[in-house]
A and B are shown apart, each in its own frame.
Chain A
Amino acid sequence: MRIVTAEDDFLLREGVALLLRAESLDVVATTENAEAFLAAVDEHEPDVAIVDVRMPPTHTDEGIKAAVEARRRHPGLAVLVLSAYVEQSFANELLASGAERLGYLLKERVGRVEQFLDALYRVAEGGTAIDPDVVTQLLTRSRPGSGLERLTARERDVLALMAEGLGNAAIAERLVVTEGAVHKHIRNIFAKLDLAPTDRADRRVAAVLRYLDETGQRV
C-alpha cells in the first residue's frame, strides 16, 4: 500500500511514518502543508492519503479542504483524516462527497496500532472509518422522541459500530456475538428507524450518520 502523509508537526510526522514503515507499508512522501500534500498526491498517485486537519497557514481546517480537493482530483484515492479533536461538522463536510474510501479519526487512535491499521485497510479497500467520538457526539445530541428511543441497548451498540464504518463480521467480533445475531440486530434497527436496508458498509454509514444528524437538529 502506497501512502502520502500531511502533518505539520515534525515529531508526529516522523512518528507516524516510522510506525507505518515498521508495518512494511510504503510511505512514498511526507508533507507538511496542504499545498505540498496536493502536489505529492498528484505526483505519486498513492492508494491512501493521511491528512492532519490543522496545518499552516491559518491552522484551522486546511486539512479538510485539502482532503476534499484530493478526493475530487483523484476519485479512487482513499483519504484518512486525522485530527487533534473531532468535530461533527468537519465529518459532514468530508462526507458530502460520499463515505466511500473515507476515514476521520482522532490522532491518538494511531497509537492503538491494530485498530488504526484496521481502519486504514478498511478505508483503502473502499470502506469507511469514523471516529467513535463523532458517533458519540451525534448520539448524545439526538433529541427525545426520535426513533433511537425504540432501540434496545444492544441495538444502540450495533448502531454506533455501524456508524463508525465496521462491517458485520467486525461488529460481531467486537460485541462477541455471532454474525447472524448482528445481522438480526441490524435488520431491527433499520426497521425501527425507517431506513432502507443495505449491506454495503459505506452506504450504511452514510445513511446512519445522516439519520443521526437529522435527529440531532430536529427540535
Chain B
Amino acid sequence: MTVSERRAAAPARGRRGPLVRRARAVFDAVEHLAGGVGTGVLALAALAWLLLVGLLCLTGVGLLLTRTVPRVVRIVAERERGRLSRWGPDELFGAGRPADGLRPALADPVVRRELRWLAVHATFGWIVGLIGLTFALHAVQDMTYPAWWRILPPDEATPTLVPWTVQSERDAVGVAIFGAGLAVLFVAVGPALARLQAWPGRRLLAPPADMDLSLRIAQLSATRAAALDAHATELRRIERSLHDGAQNRLVAVTVLLGATRRALARDPAKAEGMLEQAQDAAEQALAELRTVVRSILPPVLEGRGLAGALSGLAADCAVPCDVDVDVPGRCAVSVEATAYFVTAEALTNIAKHSRARRASVTARRDADVLTLRIEDDGVGGADGRGGTGLSGIRSRIAALDGRLAVTSPPGGPTIIEVELPCGL
C-alpha cells in the first residue's frame, strides 16, 4: 500500500521542474552515500567481531561468544533496513530477534542472508560510499579553489586528483574547471552510486521469496492496526456529529417546547413564534441525522449498487463527469462503501481545486480486485500526502488491504487509482 503512494508522491514533489528535481536527487545521493558509509563502518566492525570470535574459537574462549554474533549482525542489519525503508520506495520490515544460539540462528535463512550482506557491505559498500563522497567533496573544493589557493603555502598548492601544481591564477582556474568536471560527473553518476551501494541491502535484507508469509503477516498487522484506527476515528466522528448536531437540536426543541407551554398559560401570542422555532430545530435535527446516516453508509449503495451510486455522485459534481462502471455482481459492503467515499472525496477535490473541464470515473472488477480510476484534465499538483480529505480515505483503503496511488504532476492531469480486494 505504501509503496505505490511513495512512488506517486515523488513526481509531485518536483513541482519546480527538472532542475530542482535533479538538485534534490544529488543532495539525496550525498545523504544516502554518507548514511551507507555509516552502516558500512558498523558492518565492518561487526565483521571484525565475527572474525575475532572465529579466531577465539580456536582457543575455546570464542565458543562462549558465538551466540553474540547473530545478534550483533542483526542490530547492524536492522539499521540498514531502517535506513533503506526511510529512503523508500520499498519498505524492509524488521526481522525481530534472531533465534538464540548459533546453530538455530544459522538454520534461519534470514540470518544467512544477513551474513552475506554483511560481507558485501563491510567491504564493497562503504568503499563505494567513500568514492562517491570523495568525488562530491573534491568537486566543491576544486571549484572554489581560485578563491583561496593563495593562502596555502606555495609547496602545498597541489590539490589531490589534480596532476599539476598551482603556481598562477590560470592554474587555479584550471583546477576549478577540473572541479566542475567532477561535479558534472557526480551529478551524472552520484545517484546511481547510491543505488548501487544500497542494492545488496535491498536484495539480501528483504525476506527471501519463500519467506513471503512473514512479510505478509507484518503487513497484515500493520493494516489491521490501520483498520482499528480508522474504525475508532470513524466512531469518534459519528459520536461528535450526533452530539453536536442532532442531540443539541433536540435539546433545543425540548427547551423551546417547555418555554412554549409556559407562554401558552401567560401570553399565547408569543407561543406561535416559539413553536415555529421548535419546529425549525426539529427539522434541522432530522437533516443532521440524515447527513450522519449517509456518511456512515450511503443508502443509495444498498438500493442501486455501486454503478448507480457512482453515477449519482458524478451527476452531483460541478465538473462534467463521465462514469464507466463495469463491476459484475456485488462486492463486500465495506469495499463498495470505500469506493463510494473515495470517489466522493476525489470529485469534491476536483470541483474545488483542479479547475478541470472534464473528469472521468472508471470502475472495473478483475477477478477479486476492484479497480477504481478517477481522472481529470485540471491543473494537477495535488499533494497526495497533504490534505485531510485524502488521509481519511487512505486509512480506509489501508484498512481493506487496498492500494492507493495519486499521480498529479504540475500542469495535470491528476489520476487517482485505487485497488481494493473485494473477495472479502
Please indicate the chain B residues that have their CB under 8 angstroms from the CB of A22 in the complex: 259, 262-263, 270
A15 & B262 in contact (Cβ 8 Å cutoff): no
Please indicate the chain A residues that have their CB under 8 angstroms from the CB of B255 in the complex: 12, 15-16, 19, 107-108, 110-111
Which 6 pairs between the two chains have the least Cβ-Cβ distance?
Answer: A111-B254, A111-B258, A19-B259, A15-B255, A113-B258, A9-B248
Residue interface bits B263-276, CB-to-A below 8 A is 1, else 0: 10000001000100
Residue interface bits B235-278, CB-to-A below 8 A is 1, else 0: 00000100110011111101111110111000000100010010
A110 & B258 in contact (Cβ 8 Å cutoff): yes
B263 & A59 in contact (Cβ 8 Å cutoff): no
A84 & B252 in contact (Cβ 8 Å cutoff): no
Contacts A84-B243, A110-B254: A11 and B259 contacting too (C-beta < 8 A)?
Answer: no
* 8 A Cβ contacts from A72-101 to B: 84
Contacts A22-B270, A54-B243: A12 and B248 contacting too (C-beta < 8 A)?
Answer: yes
The secondary structure that dominates the A interface is: helix
Q: A11-B248, A23-B262, A108-B255 are in contact. List 11 more A-B contacts (CB 8 A).
A: A9-B244, A11-B249, A11-B281, A12-B248, A15-B277, A19-B256, A54-B243, A84-B247, A108-B254, A111-B251, A111-B258
* Closest CB in chain A relative to B131 CB, distance in Å: 55
* 8 A Cβ contacts from A1-37 to B: 9, 11-12, 15-16, 18-19, 22-23
Residue interface bits A96-132, CB-to-B below 8 A is 1, else 0: 0000000000011011110010000000000000000
Q: Which of A54, A59, A84, A116 has the most CB of B within 10 A?
A: A84
Complex CA gap A12/B256 in Å reads 9
Give the contacting residue for A12; candidates B240, B252, B258, B263; CB below 8 A: B252
Give the contacting residue for A18; candidates B244, B247, B249, B274; CB below 8 A: B274
B259 & A84 in contact (Cβ 8 Å cutoff): no
A84 & B248 in contact (Cβ 8 Å cutoff): yes
Contacts A22-B262, A22-B270: A111 and B247 contacting too (C-beta < 8 A)?
Answer: no
Complex CA gap A40/B249 in Å reads 26
Contacts A18-B259, A108-B251, A111-B255: A59 and B281 contacting too (C-beta < 8 A)?
Answer: no
Give the contacting residue for A113; candidates B240, B243, B252, B262; CB below 8 A: B262
On chain B, the number of residues with a Cβ less than 8 Å from chain A's Cβ atoms is 23
Please indicate the chain A residues that have their CB under 8 angstroms from the CB of B257 in the complex: 111
List 6 A-B pairs, Cβ < 8 Å: A11-B252, A16-B255, A19-B256, A108-B254, A110-B251, A110-B258
Complex CA gap A110/B262 in Å reads 12
**Chain A, Cβ-Cβ closest to B266:** A22
Q: Which of A11, A16, A107, A110 has the most CB of B within 10 A?
A: A11
Contacts A9-B244, A54-B243: A112 and B258 contacting too (C-beta < 8 A)?
Answer: yes
B252 & A9 in contact (Cβ 8 Å cutoff): yes
Please indicate the chain B residues that have their CB under 8 angstroms from the CB of A111 in the complex: 251, 254-255, 257-258
**Chain A, Cβ-Cβ closest to B250:** A108
Contacts A18-B274, A59-B240, A84-B243: A107 and B251 contacting too (C-beta < 8 A)?
Answer: yes
Complex CA gap A113/B259 in Å reads 7
* Closest CB in chain B relative to A159 CB, distance in Å: 28
Residue interface bits A184-205, CB-to-B below 8 A is 1, else 0: 0000000000000000000000
**Chain A, Cβ-Cβ closest to B284:** A11
Please indicate the chain B residues that have their CB under 8 angstroms from the CB of A23 in the complex: 262
Please indicate the chain A residues that have their CB under 8 angstroms from the CB of B254 in the complex: 108, 110-111
* 8 A Cβ contacts from B113-169 to A: none
B256 & A15 in contact (Cβ 8 Å cutoff): yes
**Chain B, Cβ-Cβ closest to A20:** B259
* Closest CB in chain A relative to B252 CB, distance in Å: 5
Give the contacting residue for B244; candidates A15, A19, A59, A107; CB below 8 A: A59
* Closest CB in chain A relative to B289 CB, distance in Å: 15
* 8 A Cβ contacts from B11-39 to A: none
* 8 A Cβ contacts from A160-199 to B: none
* Closest CB in chain A relative to B253 CB, distance in Å: 8
B240 & A15 in contact (Cβ 8 Å cutoff): no
Please indicate the chain B residues that have their CB under 8 angstroms from the CB of A11 in the complex: 248-249, 252, 281, 284
**Chain B, Cβ-Cβ closest to A23:** B262
B252 & A15 in contact (Cβ 8 Å cutoff): yes
* Closest CB in chain A relative to B10 CB, distance in Å: 36
Complex CA gap A16/B277 in Å reads 13
Complex CA gap A9/B288 in Å reads 14
Complex CA gap A15/B248 in Å reads 11
**Chain B, Cβ-Cβ closest to A115:** B258
Complex CA gap A106/B263 in Å reads 23
* 8 A Cβ contacts from B273-314 to A: 274, 277, 281, 284
* Closest CB in chain B relative to A27 CB, distance in Å: 13
**Chain B, Cβ-Cβ closest to A13:** B252
